[in-house]
A and B are shown apart, each in its own frame.
Chain A
Amino acid sequence: MNYVIIGNSVAAVGAIRGIRTIDPEGNITVISRERHTAYGRPLISYLLGGLITEKRMPYLPPDFYEQHRVNLLLNSEVIAVDDAKKRVKLASGENVPFDRLLIATGGDPFIPPIEGLADKEKVFTFTTWDDAAKLKGLAADIERVVVIGGGLIGLKAAEGLYLLGKKVTIVELADRILSAAFDRPAGRIVAKKMKANGIDVITEDTVVRVDGEGAAISGVTLKSGDFIPCDTLIVAIGVRPAAGFLKGSSVEVNRGVVVDDSMATSVKGVFAAGDVAEARDFFSGAKNPMPIWPDAYIQGDIAGTAMAGSTKSYAGGLAMNSIEFFKVSTISMGITNPPDPAEYEVLTYLDAENYQYRKIVLKGNLLVGAVLVGNVDRAGIFAGLIREKVDVTPFRDKLLATDFGFIHLTKEIRSTLFAPIGKVA
């Protein structure tokens, strides 16, 4: 059996482990356009800010590929998939045959057409190790930076640059930063912390022109007419599933590569996992891309298991993020901004002064979302209650308590989770 995996991040690793659990024999080939072995992609902001060295970047023990007998092709880009002939074509012209294929290419940063942007030199995206390394290498020539986009990537890039002593301005189109992952009060707390550290946060505005002579940037002009001087631009508007190379194949691509609950695509023998995939949402059942690290691992594991001929079913993607901004811890999960407030009940506790916030989102008797800022201890208990669809009625009034724990749940749940099975001598 020839397994080919395109991409080499967390979904690929989940798949490699998934395959090897069942099939110790088959050939696994991993093809990556990057030059590195798997690395902790979210660590790039830590690397940029000098919080870690390059030594911490590898995600796996050095002998992982050898131990799992993986043939690793780095610096290799797949340009086409021929699903009829069951082979992928590399940029080098080489063809790699497959029996089972996993598409785990992640996302590509989206760069919008902005006047004057194309011919400028110091314009960066921030999604790869090399992006961070390039920025770090140029750090001495950077003084003022504008970050377009106030999402997680933009904010983490801003923080990294701030730690290098750069003057940073964030420009966000929405009326607040972190609008996707966070609700309004949590976003406000983070914005307050950013501003307290001297980072300018501009909302409800966007960059319409990049100014400067030739390849050099002198500043950006905003829609409002304001001009912000800067010498470097980070574009962090968002990522799109990296599925362009599937054009010409029969693999169904909507926004991402459409997959079922075993991560199988529309083409037999071809699977997709991670940020490139469009899988079922935990709550709605609708399919949508979900660029969430733990979810990518889970999808990779399910795909690898299916590729090796066994089955594990996907419970649906549950968004969750744990991010620290200027030493304020934040964890959010599930539905944090209920679309129709009448259908949901929201419990909150706010102490903005001390950067503490807790929010619980309920739908009927079920927990569907949580936001924790400051004290995030044991947040995973909420994740468990969401995933297991536990009826919260008996402990509803305890959900906001900072010491919320299993003691507030029913004895039955506690026994199920922690008591020994069978007779104890």
Chain B
Amino acid sequence: MKRIYTLEDACIGCHLCEVACITEHSLSKDPVKAFLHEPARPISRCTVEEWDGGVVSLSTTCRHCDEPDCLRACISGAIQKFDSGVVRVDAEQCVGCWSCVMACPYGAVQRNLAKKKANKCDLCPDRKNPACVDACPNRALVYKEGNQK
């Protein structure tokens, strides 16, 4: 399956992947409206980490594992792996127990505290490429066939 990979040396720590992710998963799909006016603004499903004032940075996100630890830890069955390989959270079924947060070794499941729901990359089902990949100005994010590591 196609997965999102990160070229750390190309990342400039601009956080545009996070902006694109929030926008894509908003109601309006418009960054200004999403950030300023939407009552339940989504939180980003990719996480840009920085150190040393941004000298080192990279965007981390879900690996859509072949044997997902999040799915195995999920107590409600909200996390399912589909035939396409994508691992998704059914927000309605999620009870916000954070077992997935406990289990994911990639730190790729976020806590949406306002909604009390787990939040993770869904590979943008409405798009050809994930929004974060398209938004990365330095092409530090790569969407290609590959294994989970």
Which residues on A are within 8 Å of B, measured CB to CB? 14, 38, 40-43, 46, 51-52, 56, 58-61, 293-294, 297-298, 301, 320-324, 329, 331, 333, 376-381, 383-385, 387-388, 403, 405-408, 411, 414-422, 424
30 A-B residue pairs with CB within 8 Å: A56-B95, A301-B67, A322-B97, A322-B99, A322-B101, A322-B102, A323-B97, A376-B111, A377-B101, A379-B101, A380-B69, A380-B101, A380-B102, A381-B106, A383-B105, A385-B105, A405-B107, A406-B107, A407-B56, A411-B8, A415-B8, A417-B60, A417-B106, A419-B5, A419-B7, A420-B5, A420-B142, A421-B149, A424-B5, A424-B142
- Is B12 located at the chain interface by the 8 A CB criterion? no
Interface string of B62-99 (1 = CB under 8 A from A): 01000101101101110010000000000001011111
Asked if A420 contacts B99 (CB within 8 A), the reply is no
Task: Given A322-B97, A324-B97, answer yes or no on A56-B76 (Cβ-Cβ < 8 Å).
Answer: yes
Out of B72, B95, B98, name the residue touching A376 (CB < 8 Å).
Answer: B98
Q: Closest 7 A-B residue pairs measured CB to CB?
A: A384-B105, A378-B107, A420-B5, A380-B104, A59-B77, A407-B49, A294-B73
Among A56, A297, A301, A380, the residue within 8 A (CB) of B107 is: A380
- Complex Cα distance, B6 from A417, in Å, reads 9
Residues of chain B touching chain A, judged by Cβ–Cβ distance below 8 Å, are: 5-8, 47, 49-51, 56-58, 60, 63, 67, 69-70, 72-73, 75-77, 80, 93, 95-107, 109-111, 142, 144, 146-147, 149
Question: In the complex, what distance in Å separates the CA atom of A322 from the CA atom of B130?
Answer: 30
**B7 with A14: CB separation less than 8 A:** no
**Nearest-neighbor residue (CB-CB) of A422 within chain B:** B146
B109–A380 contact, CB under 8 A?
Answer: yes
B-side interface mostly? mixed
> Which residues of the partner chain B approach A294 to less than 8 Å between Cβ atoms?
69, 72-73, 99, 103
Beyond A56-B76, A331-B101, A384-B105, whether A420 also contacts B60 by CB under 8 A is no
Q: Is there an interface contact between A59 and B76, defined as CB atoms closer than 8 Å?
A: yes
* B109 touching A407, Cβ below 8 Å: no
Residues of B contacting A329 with CB < 8 Å?
98, 111
Are A40 and B73 closer than 8 Å at their CB atoms? Answer: no
| Cα(A59)–Cα(B98), bound, Å | 16
Residue in A14, A42, A380 whose beta carbon sits within 8 Å of that of B103 in the complex = A380
The complex places the Cα of A321 from the Cα of B99 at a distance, in Å, of: 7
| B142, A408: Cβ atoms closer than 8 Å | no
Residue in chain A with minimal CB distance to B71: A297
Check A377–B142 contact: CB distance below 8 A.
Answer: no
Q: Report which of A298, A411, A418 forms a contact with B5, defined as CB distance below 8 A.
A: A418
Q: Which residues of B contact A56 (CB under 8 A)?
A: 76, 93, 95
The reply to whether B75 and A40 contact each other, CB–CB distance below 8 Å, is: yes
Q: B76, A381: Cβ atoms under 8 Å?
A: no
Give the chain B neighbours of A298 by CB distance below 8 A: 72
Cα–Cα distance between A333 and B8 once the two chains are bound (Å): 30
Shortest Cβ distance from B103 into chain A, in angstroms? 5
* B6–A322 CB distance below 8 A: no
Are the C-beta atoms of B98 and A384 separated by less than 8 Å? no
- Give the shortest distance, in Å, between B88 (CB) and chain A (any CB): 12
Would you call B7 and A324 a contact (CB within 8 A)? no
By beta carbon, the residue of chain A nearest B72 is: A297
Interface centre among B56, B76, B144 (most CB of A within 10 A): B76
**A45 CB to nearest chain B CB (Å):** 10
- Residues in B with CB closer than 8 Å to A422 are 146
Contacts of A420 in B (CB 8 A): 5-7, 142, 144, 146
